[in-house]
Chain A
C-alpha cells in the first residue's frame, strides 16, 4: 500500500475540509508533518486508523467525539475521513463516515472503492479487503504511536499476530489453499454413496463426524482456556508489578531504617565534634589569650638574664658564708660591724636564694609549655571543625535521602503485600490447572485425530473396492496429497522468513543501540531480549520502542525482498507505509540521530509526525535529503492573543504562524510548506 492522500471533514480538531497529499516519490519518500503538542499529530494518526478499522488508539481520549465541536454547533452532522491509496498497482479510496444523532439512519459507514476508468467500483467486503492490505493486528506497527510503544508485538493475541505476520510474509495463498483442500476433501468423503461393498462407510462417516465434533469442542475449549490463561497471566503480571513495587517499597523501608541508624550515628559524631570544639576553647583558649603576656614575660626574662639581673647575680648562701668567714674571697678582712662588712651584708637585700631560682625555672617551664601548646592548638581546632563540617554534610545528605524515601513511600499499604502474595499463589495454581487441562485436551485431540485418520483411510480403502465409489477416494487422495505438499512448503517458507526477520532485527539493533542485545524470537513471533544465559531481560521504554521499530523495519525489508520472488505460490508481501507519530519520544539524543538516519530506509513510504522538540536540527538534517512533502498543523483560536507571544516557525526562509488568534473557529488547519 502506498498512501496518496488523506481528506478530513470535521474530524475531531480538524474543522471543515482539509487534506494532505503524501509523497510517493521513491527517493524522497518521507512526508514530514510538524505540529506542536495538542495540535493534532495523534489525531491525524488516529484518522488513518479510524478510517481503515473504525478504531482509535487506546490513549485517544473521548473517542466517541468524532464530529468537530464547532461544526456540531453550526448544525453539521457528518464527519468523514477518506484515504486514497495504491495497492498492487490499483488505486482505491477508503471512506468512513460518522453521522451524529438521527442522521446515522441508513447509509453505510465504511466504503472502499477501486478507481476504474474514471468511475469507482465498490469492493464487496471492505473490512476484509483492508485487513488483507494491512492486517489489523499489524496496524500498530505500521501506524506507530511512538509515545505509547509499551505494548510490543508478541505480548498479546499471539495466534492472530502469527496469522497477520504470515499474511505479510506472503504465505496466505498457500494457507487458504490448504484450508480449502481440507474442506473439499471432507465434502468428497460425505458424498461417497452407500453400496453393498461400502455399507460400512456410512457408519464410519458417522463416527468420523462424531470425532470431528469432539475435536472441535476440545479445540474451542482450548481456545477458551488459552484466553483464560492469558487473563490469568496478565493478572499475575499485574500482581508481580505491584509486588515489585511493594518489594521496592520494602527495599525503601530497609533503606529508611539504615539511613535513620546512620543519621543517629552522624548526630553522635556531630555532637562529639562540636564538644571537641568547645572543649578545645575551654582548655586552650588561654593559650591564645596569653600569647602576648607570655611573649612579653619571655622577652623580659631573657633580657634580664642576659643582663644578669634575673636571677640576681648575688647568691644569698655565698654572701652569708663570706660574712661568717669574716674574710672576702679577695683576702680582705671583714670584721663584724666594720664598714666593709656592712656593705657586704647589704648585698643580702638583693641576693637570690634557691627558692627564687626554682621559681624562675618554673616560670620559664610554664611559659615554654604555653608556647608549645599554643603552637599545637590551632591544628586540633581545625581537625575538630573539619569533623564537625563532615558530620553536618553527611547529615544533610541523609536528611535529603530520607525525605525522598518518605515521598516515595507515601500511600503504600504494607498490609496489602501479604494478601497480594496469597492471591498470586492462587493464580499460579489456577494457571497450572489450566495448563493441565489444556494438556489433557491436547491428548484427547491427538487420539481423536489419529482415530479419525485411520477411519478416513478405512473409508478410502472401502471406497476404492467399489467402482461406483472409487472416484471419491481418488479425489480425496489428490486433495490430501496436495495439501501435504503445501503444508511442507508453508513450514519451510515460514522458517526461512523467521531467519531473515531475526537477522534483519539484529542488524537494525546493532546499528542503532549501544548495548549488545541478544534477540530471541519464539515460534509465534514473540520477541524478547535475552542475556548470555538466555534469560529474558526487561526492556526499557526506549528499547521497546526501538525493538518495535526494528521488527516493523525487518518485516518491511522482508516484504521488499519478497517483492521480486519468482515463486508463484507466494504473494508479493505487504508493502505498507509507515506512519510514525513522535517516534523519537522515548529515545535519547544519540538514539534519535541513528534512528532518524534509518527511518527513511524502513519503508517505501514514511509519514513522520514531529513536534519542534522531536524534530531537532540533528533529526531534520539526517532526514533532509529524503523529505518529499512537508506540512504544518496550525492551531486556530477564537480567543484574542492577549498576553501570549506570537508563535511562528521558519521553513525555507519563509515565516509560518503556528498559532492563529481571533480566528473564526477553534481547531487545526493543515498548511502545506512550500517547496524551496
Chain B
C-alpha cells in the first residue's frame, strides 16, 4: 500500500494533467478519441524527456 501511495505521489502531477485532458474532452467531445490520445502521447513524451517527472533513467 505504501508502495502504491509512493507511486501515486510520484505520478501525481502527470495524473492530474491526464485527468484534466480527459475532462476537457469528456462532456461535449467524448467521441473525439484520436485527438485526445494524440494529446495524451504528447503529455507522456514531455514527461519522459530527460529530466521530466516520468524520467526514471
Q: Which residues of chain A are within 8 angstroms of B30 by Cβ–Cβ distance? A: 125, 128-129, 132, 176
How big is chain A's contact interface, by range?
35 or more
Q: How far is the CA of A568 from the CA of B55 in the complex (A)?
A: 24
- Asked if A481 is at the interface of the complex by the 8 Å CB criterion, the answer is yes
- Asked if A177 is at the interface of the complex by the 8 Å CB criterion, the answer is yes
- Asked if A561 is at the interface of the complex by the 8 Å CB criterion, the answer is no
Q: What 0/1 readout, one digit per residue, does chain B (35-57) give for beta carbons within 8 Å of chain A?
A: 01100110011011000001111
Q: Which residues of chain A are within 8 angstroms of B15 by Cβ–Cβ distance? A: 482, 485-486, 569
- Asked if A377 is at the interface of the complex by the 8 Å CB criterion, the answer is no
Closest chain B CB from A188 CB (angstroms): 8
Closest chain B CB from A168 CB (angstroms): 14
Q: How far is the CA of A486 from the CA of B8 in the complex (A)?
A: 9
Q: How far is the CA of A132 from the CA of B40 in the complex (A)?
A: 21
How big is chain B's contact interface, by range?
20 to 34
- Asked if A124 is at the interface of the complex by the 8 Å CB criterion, the answer is yes
Q: Which residues of chain B are within 8 angstroms of A552 by Cβ–Cβ distance? A: none
Q: Which residues of chain A are within 8 angstroms of B33 by Cβ–Cβ distance? A: 180
Q: Which residues of chain A are within 8 angstroms of B25 by Cβ–Cβ distance? A: 176
Q: Which of B8, B36, B37, B44 is within 8 Å of A475, CB to CB?
A: B44
Q: What 0/1 readout, one digit per residue, does chain A (467-510) give for beta carbons within 8 Å of chain B?
A: 00011001101110110111011000000000000000000000
Residue contact A132 to B19, C-beta cutoff 8 Å: no
Q: What 0/1 readout, one digit per residue, does chain B (8-43) give for beta carbons within 8 Å of chain A?
A: 100100111011101101111111110011001100
Residue contact B22 to A177, C-beta cutoff 8 Å: yes
Q: How far is the CA of A125 from the CA of B35 in the complex (A)?
A: 15
Least CB separation from B16: chain A residue:
A568
Least CB separation from B27: chain A residue:
A132
Q: Which residues of chain B are within 8 angstroms of A183 by Cβ–Cβ distance? A: 37
- Asked if A621 is at the interface of the complex by the 8 Å CB criterion, the answer is no
Residue contact A485 to B7, C-beta cutoff 8 Å: yes
Q: How far is the CA of A271 from the CA of B48 in the complex (A)?
A: 103
| Known contacts A481-B11, A485-B4: A129-B27 contact under CB 8 Å | yes
Main secondary structure, interface of B, reads helix
- Asked if A88 is at the interface of the complex by the 8 Å CB criterion, the answer is yes
Q: Which of B14, B22, B26, B31 is within 8 Å of A482, CB to CB?
A: B14
Least CB separation from B25: chain A residue:
A176
Main secondary structure, interface of A, reads helix
Residue contact B37 to A125, C-beta cutoff 8 Å: no
Q: Which residues of chain B are within 8 angstroms of A484 by Cβ–Cβ distance? A: 7
Q: How far is the CA of A177 from the CA of B40 in the complex (A)?
A: 9
Q: How far is the CA of A459 from the CA of B13 in the complex (A)?
A: 28
Q: Which of B8, B26, B27, B45 is within 8 Å of A485, CB to CB?
A: B8
Q: Which residues of chain A are within 8 angstroms of B44 by Cβ–Cβ distance? A: 184, 188, 475, 478-479
Residue contact B22 to A474, C-beta cutoff 8 Å: no
Q: Which residues of chain B are within 8 angstroms of A180 by Cβ–Cβ distance? A: 18, 22, 33, 36-37, 40
19 pairs from A and B in contact (CB 8 Å cutoff): A114-B28, A124-B28, A132-B26, A132-B27, A172-B26, A173-B23, A176-B26, A180-B40, A181-B18, A184-B44, A470-B57, A475-B54, A478-B48, A482-B15, A485-B8, A485-B11, A488-B4, A568-B19, A571-B23
B residues bordering A, Cβ < 8 Å? 4, 7-8, 11, 14-16, 18-20, 22-23, 25-33, 36-37, 40-41, 44-45, 47-48, 54-57
A residues bordering B, Cβ < 8 Å? 87-88, 114, 123-125, 128-129, 132-133, 172-174, 176-177, 180-181, 183-184, 187-188, 470-471, 474-475, 477-479, 481-482, 484-486, 488-489, 568-569, 571
Q: A173-B22, A571-B23 are in contact. List 20 more A-B contacts (CB 8 A).
A: A87-B27, A124-B28, A124-B29, A125-B28, A128-B31, A132-B27, A173-B19, A174-B19, A177-B18, A180-B22, A180-B37, A181-B40, A474-B54, A479-B44, A481-B11, A482-B14, A485-B15, A488-B4, A568-B16, A571-B26
The 3 tightest CB contacts between A and B, nearest first, are A478-B54, A125-B31, A173-B22
